[in-house]
């Protein structure tokens, strides 16, 4: 299993996958964001009603109380969003893997992961809690945690792993390259959010990159035999006679399963 980060390759392939079926991915993103927008809208209304004008008579106690209420509301909202998003994450990743296999995808695919809802929900809540704790510790630990756990949901989708096992597996896979995986999640998140610049609604086009690039990374690490071969690969690679993984043309043993090639 190779866990070296191929930043440029993964981003390029994710972008190409998005371009190939951008209408479907845009529609799925809209479906994904509708309940999130409702939750955030409710949060804003509640937050507005909770706020009280600070006059000259306002005390430090009033300020601390209002700040505490706002922080509590924000944390509660982030967990509610995680609960809502878990309905769709399994289907979104299944659509990504389906497209990488060369199959057509549809908006209905976003609902195809409901059988994994509980596992994804538990994993998402655990990840949110860990990231939140890391964010409070000078923010950067939260980013590192994101990078270390970015393969958790794809592991649940592809291997039907239990939440804690998937988190541990993602951590063990990424820890040797933790800095590059942190860079990857930061760059991917920036690309996903770049659509905001395009009159805000562009987010519906760019946000799928967050899932597509992660899915590509998962495939290259855990399923390298299904990686599309470039012309150079075709000339200088061969397939393992046992597991089918792509290996150097002169390799005597398979890097993935260890089978002899002679």
Q: Please give the Cα distance from 214 to 156 (Å, whole number).
A: 13
* pLDDT value of residue 239: 73
Q: For residue range 29-55, what is the model confidence (pLDDT) as tens digits?
A: 999 999 888 888 887 787 777 666 555
Q: Please give the Cα distance from 36 to 121 (Å, whole number).
A: 15
Both tokens of 50, joined, read 């909770």
Owner of token pair 């949901």: 153
Q: For residue range 114-124, what is the model confidence (pLDDT) as tens digits?
A: 999 999 999 99
Q: What is the mean pLDDT of residues 236-245?
A: 71
Q: Where are the domains of the chain?
A: 7-49+57-228, 230-262
**Number of other residues whose CB lies within 10 A of the CB of residue 20:** 12
- 222 neighbors 213 (Cβ within 8 angstroms): no
Q: Please give the Cα distance from 246 to 51 (Å, whole number).
A: 60
Q: For residue range 125-146, what is the model confidence (pLDDT) as tens digits?
A: 999 889 888 877 777 888 899 9
Q: Please give the Cα distance from 115 to 85 (Å, whole number).
A: 14
Q: What is the 3-state secondary structure (H, E, C) of the chain?
A: CCCCCCHHHHHHHHHHHHHHCHHHHHHHHHHHHHHHHHHHHHHHHHHHHHCCCCCCCCCHHHHHHHHHHHHHHHHHHHHHHHHHHHHHHHHHHHHHHHHHCCCCCCHHHHHCCHHHHHHHHHHHHHHHHHHHHHHHCCCHHHHHHHHHCCCHHHHHHHHCCCHHHHHHHHHHHHHHHHHHHHHHHHHHHHHHHHHHHCCCCCHHHHCCHHHHHHHHHHHHHHCHHHCCCCHHHHHHEEECCCCCCEEECCCCECCCCCCECC
Residue 19 confidence class, pLDDT cut points 50, 70, 90: very high
**Number of other residues whose CB lies within 10 A of the CB of residue 262:** 5
Q: For residue range 190-239, what is the model confidence (pLDDT) as tens digits?
A: 998 887 776 667 888 999 999 999 999 999 999 987 777 554 454 556 77
CA 165 to chain centroid, in Å, comes to: 17
* pLDDT value of residue 53: 58
Q: Please give the Cα distance from 148 to 142 (Å, whole number).
A: 10
Residue 57 confidence class, pLDDT cut points 50, 70, 90: low
Q: What is the 3-state secondary structure (H, E, C) of 102-143?
A: CCCCCHHHHHCCHHHHHHHHHHHHHHHHHHHHHHHCCCHHHH
């Amino acid at each position: 299993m190779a866990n070296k980060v191929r930043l440029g390759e993964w981003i390029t392939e994710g972008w190409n996958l998005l371009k190939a079926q951008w209408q479907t991915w845009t529609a799925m993103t809209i479906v994904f964001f509708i309940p999130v927008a409702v939750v955030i809208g409710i949060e804003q209304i509640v937050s507005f009603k909770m706020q009280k004008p600070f006059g000259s008579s306002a005390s430090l106690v009033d300020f601390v109380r209002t700040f505490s209420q706002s922080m509590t509301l924000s944390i509660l909202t982030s967990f509610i969003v995680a609960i809502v998003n878990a309905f769709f994450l399994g289907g979104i990743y299944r659509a990504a893997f389906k497209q990488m296999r060369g199959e057509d995808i549809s908006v209905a695919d976003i609902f195809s992961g409901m059988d994994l809802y509980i596992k994804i929900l538990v994993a998402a809540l655990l990840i949110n809690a860990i990231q939140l704790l890391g964010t409070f510790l000078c923010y950067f630990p939260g980013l590192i945690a994101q990078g270390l756990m970015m393969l958790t949901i794809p592991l649940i989708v592809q291997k039907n792993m239990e939440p804690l096992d998937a988190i541990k597996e993602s951590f063990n896979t990424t820890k040797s390259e933790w800095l590059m995986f942190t860079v990857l999640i930061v760059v991917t998140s920036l690309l996903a959010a770049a659509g905001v610049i395009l009159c805000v609604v562009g987010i519906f086009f760019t946000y799928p990159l967050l899932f597509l690039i992660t899915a590509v990374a998962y495939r290259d690490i855990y399923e390298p035999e299904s990686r599309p071969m470039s012309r150079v690969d075709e000339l200088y690679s061969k397939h393992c006679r046992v597991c089918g993984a792509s290996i150097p043309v002169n390799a005597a043993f398979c890097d993935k399963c260890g089978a002899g090639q002679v």
